[in-house]
């Protein structure tokens, strides 16, 4: 009889650990749903027409020089992104309503837009993430120009 109680005790512990691990894993996945969304390059996004129907995606690229426009007194910005460091000839027309991150105009920054394509030619960004380049820090140490300033 004591041997049977010992086995039941082990079985209970195993079931308890399994259930607890499953619950914790489920809660962790539910807490961070946006962090599991990968980003596409501008060219990849352009080639995947199934994503142009309003699905929320992340698109990565670099700001096209002289493409930024914003009417005075407005927080609505329009700009273009292209593939970083390579001119593929593929551009993404994008717009964003809000305050832009500090390094948005840095030519070495990688810009990640999260939003959806509205079907009429614009990618509507809900949020913007700018990855700070290590090149930028090296340029400052060498005495070269820093990031672009907001033209408006």
CATH of 38-141, one of 3.90.1410.10, 2.40.50.140, 3.30.565.10, 3.10.20.30: 2.40.50.140
What stretch of H or E contains 146? none
pLDDT tens digit string along 57-85? 888 888 888 888 988 888 889 999 988 76
pLDDT tens digit string along 7-63? 788 899 999 999 999 999 988 877 776 555 677 888 888 888 887 777 888 888 888
Question: Would you kindly state where each structural domain of the chain is located, as residue ranges?
Answer: 1-36, 38-141
- In whole angstroms, give the CA distance from residue 132 to residue 41: 17
Q: Which pLDDT value is given to residue 85?
A: 66
pLDDT tens digit string along 129-149? 888 766 545 555 555 554 445
Side-chain half-sphere exposure of 89, counting CA atoms within 13 A: 0
């Amino acid at each position: 009889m004591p041997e049977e109680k010992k086995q039941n005790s082990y079985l209970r512990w195993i079931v308890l650990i399994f259930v607890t691990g499953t619950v914790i894993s489920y809660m962790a996945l539910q807490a961070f749903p946006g962090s599991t969304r990968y980003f596409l390059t501008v060219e990849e996004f352009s080639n995947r027409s199934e994503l142009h129907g309003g699905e929320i995606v992340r698109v990565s690229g670099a700001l096209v020089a002289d493409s930024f426009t914003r009417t005075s007194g407005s927080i609505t910005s329009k700009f273009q992104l292209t593939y970083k460091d390579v001119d593929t000839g593929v551009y993404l027309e994008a717009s964003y309503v809000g305050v832009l991150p500090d390094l948005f105009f840095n030519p070495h920054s990688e810009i990640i837009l999260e939003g959806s394509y509205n079907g009429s030619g614009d990618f509507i960004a809900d949020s913007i993430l700018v990855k700070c380049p290590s090149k930028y820090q090296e340029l400052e140490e060498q005495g070269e120009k820093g990031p672009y300033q907001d033209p408006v």
